[in-house]
Chain A
């Protein structure tokens, strides 16, 4: 790694102040940033470790929503009685992120802020119509994910929590890249107060909603409703693990399986 200064602020306000330096980077679980640092792909002037900020932790039910603090580890979401009761698909998603080590360290704030096209959480955020809470404001999921590794967050703005409206039903299914075990194509579907939502991750440069599938499911919620819908390969990722055509095909398969999982 290149050398850097290390800070561990105790409050969000302190963290935001430290992140005013454009070369400073926030670190939460570190499972994305630390490998990048070891490969010398990043040269931050400072790391701002958010793990000491108490107000960023915790899972709570708030009316018709589950609010999860940014520094909540995947394993905590996976095993939370609140989440399992209210949004079991979200607990399932968290339980299948990466591996045991990743789940013990990785955080929802880190995952959502990073917006890796092959990450799991963005599909749940978009697929449930969640609201992202930051140190400055609240941002609707539809306005949050802008492109590959790009979100609406500003340099000195940190994600503090994600508020998930509790759906009537939801499901998640994904096809894992055999090597990295990241998502090659995944679908998070939900039906509830937010309507019918189908969020596709892994297949494209950024998580996106599949409008045709949403329409079909709104008319009739069943795996068969989406089975016949062909995702266009245009703009989807193509690499040594699979072509855009293959990923497009997987989108339909995973959407079908997600709907079946939702019940």
Chain B
């Protein structure tokens, strides 16, 4: 009998296998790879937000020491290099497709944001390439810039793309406008709120890098890149940009130091180094420095919304209508159009029984860095809007903000619950997560803490958010009908080796999530193989058949499910082999964690016995069954998954400086079945750190001319350890009803639930100042402005 000890299966807080190499400096990140004859690329980027390129003179640069080549957009065009594709097509209200202007790899004719790649210098050293790039002379005709959505939509605004009149990408909507208007007409209360969801700069710890190679003997290209999804890059770059068949293009995403969405997209630099390697017959490497990352990694969020909530006299929500402007930036990044539509508006029911909803979204081009998914991708925007509206509604109706939510929660017996915005929630218990959070945060004891803080001259506030999100992306046919240009299934291969160790090949990618551990736990739990003998392989298109990568909290829900299906096939085949070996009927074979048993007897065979037999098929049903023990499964999810929960933040404000300190944070999340509690805790804490960053610290600032004022860590405030309180993480489990593991995903919930909890707490702390609307980040200067300018409404 196999004994797995200590327990390493589902539910165990197994320490991460990958941490051994990370903590000892033995990680292998893209920049760590060096190839013989390697050249270095430095990208010349536009210093202007909007300009015509009258000419580029590369002669002086090309003659500089160590320089092998200097390329521009014209060189790529002459070589038939295509533009960067967009992976999701949204349609307008009238059914017409969105404006989809070209996105050249290197600028052609115009530059449209500070940081737009214009040319590339390639030399023997990085410094030589940089020196050469500085010597490239670009003759710009500077044009007026539209740096904000407001400026871009004004009549007569500078036209960023000829194919997008009015700088509008699309004007989309969802929901039933007539029904919503009717609901509002009969409402006792209408709450109106204007909100901004602030633009964020992702700042993964590892900057992006790409290494392109070309093998002249095989004609094969290899791209090593900091990507969350190498197969997607191979598909997009091979098919759309460089016209290389998949069989001749290998993409490797090795260890990647954080992505948070910013490393999903197919970026210009990946195409540049791959193409240049082919042109020059030598490997070409590019590594961003941090200031470059600020102006070349896709930014996140950047919505401006007007929201209206209709309620009856008891505070029951009758309807919601929302109008949102979403910034696309200067070009369409790979998934940008779907973020403020199908990942945002479809979440506007939240955890509430809102019967009718209408949302319209205008996506706008501006002369800023392209905007795309960033941890939460649309769901933080929806949650912030809803949870701020609920608090304002509570204040305006006089109904307690916890009570108001409870009155509107979907009840546990209402599942599956069809929302009015397409999504159908499978399971959940919002009352339970709320109650658990209220207890853990000692909500009831808050007023005493507020009074004590007042004695110390501090304004203390408490705030909550009850959120839901949709992840486990995604059912292919559903998203296809909504404009996705790819399927969103996942692939898992289980390869049982002759001596019983297991290799898992997964199309998911681990860039901080701990898959090498959690996926091994699934195998340990199901097949009884110790995790030390389970190897998880990901990130190489030459090793893993296919995959859509990791984002949208999908790896376990979709990738793990593919693995479970593959293990089903392993077990099914194993039973047939076992039946043969034990001369029993296959229907009498039971399997449990590595042991095949003839039911009702003590005749057993281990998984090792089976795998040896499979690869040395001497005593084997060779007429009916092929040798070997390796199975692949593709899993296409039936629905999104719907983690939900309650976050509670407690803050203290120093009224003299306006500084907000988060003194406590409680997260109770329902992520479905928990595979590794320690990793879930880490994921939630990380997400909460990013949410607190958005709420209090981080602001991407452009001036009116499109210059990025927050261009480095000196001005862009990333959260540090001393900005964060102890974060209490607990889970409440309701299983996902439609995947084999019952998991919902946990990667993004921390960043989704936390910003409104924090802002609601700040507004609560400022209750005497009559604050209604508070946009993020709530910086000390902003808070002081409110305190200094606001009437103190309570008696002294």
Seen from chain A, the residues whose Cβ lies within 8 Å of a Cβ on chain B are 1, 38-40, 175, 178-180, 182, 240-243, 246, 249-250, 253
Contacts and interface: CB of A to CB of B under 8 A. Distances in A.
B657 A250 contact: yes
A124 to B, nearest CB: 21
A175 B715 contact: no
A33 to B, nearest CB: 15
A104 to B, nearest CB: 18
A179 B699 CA distance: 10
A252 to B, nearest CB: 9
Interface string B655-669: 011110000000000
B785 A240 contact: no
Interface of B: 127, 130, 134, 289, 291, 656-659, 697, 699, 701, 709-710, 713-718, 779-781, 784-785, 788
24 contacts: A1-B127, A38-B289, A39-B291, A40-B130, A175-B657, A178-B779, A179-B710, A179-B713, A179-B714, A179-B717, A180-B713, A180-B714, A180-B715, A240-B699, A240-B701, A240-B709, A241-B779, A241-B781, A242-B779, A242-B780, A242-B781, A246-B658, A246-B781, A249-B788
Nearest to A246: B781
Contacts of B718: 179
A146 B333 CA distance: 49
Contacts of A182: 714
B245 to A, nearest CB: 41
Contacts of B709: 240
A243 B780 CA distance: 11
Given A39-B291, A240-B709, A242-B780, A179 B785 contact: no
Nearest to A185: B657
Contacts of A175: 657, 659, 780
Contact of B716 (A179, A243, A246, A250): A179
Contacts of A253: 656-657
A221 to B, nearest CB: 20
Contacts of B713: 179-180
A208 B697 CA distance: 29
B291 A241 contact: no
Contacts of B714: 179-180, 182
A227 to B, nearest CB: 10
Closest 7 interchain pairs by CB?
Answer: A179-B717, A242-B781, A180-B714, A253-B656, A178-B717, A246-B781, A240-B701
A192 B692 CA distance: 44
Nearest to B715: A179
Of A39, A179, A240, A241, most buried by chain B (CB within 10 Å of CB) is A179
B703 to A, nearest CB: 9
B715 A240 contact: yes
Nearest to B289: A38
Nearest to A253: B656
Nearest to B709: A240
Contacts of B130: 40
Contact of A178 (B127, B780, B788): B780
A15 B23 CA distance: 42
A96 B780 CA distance: 20
A240 B701 CA distance: 8
Nearest to B291: A39
A178 B659 CA distance: 9
A229 to B, nearest CB: 14
A237 to B, nearest CB: 12
Nearest to B698: A179
Of A178, A180, A246, A250, most buried by chain B (CB within 10 Å of CB) is A178
Contacts of B784: 246, 249
A162 to B, nearest CB: 26
A59 B208 CA distance: 45
A240 B710 contact: yes
A241 B784 CA distance: 12
Contacts of B697: 178-179
A250 B291 CA distance: 30
A130 to B, nearest CB: 28
Contacts of A39: 291
A246 B780 CA distance: 9
Of A40, A182, A241, A253, most buried by chain B (CB within 10 Å of CB) is A241
A51 B491 CA distance: 58
A249 B716 CA distance: 23
Contacts of A249: 784, 788
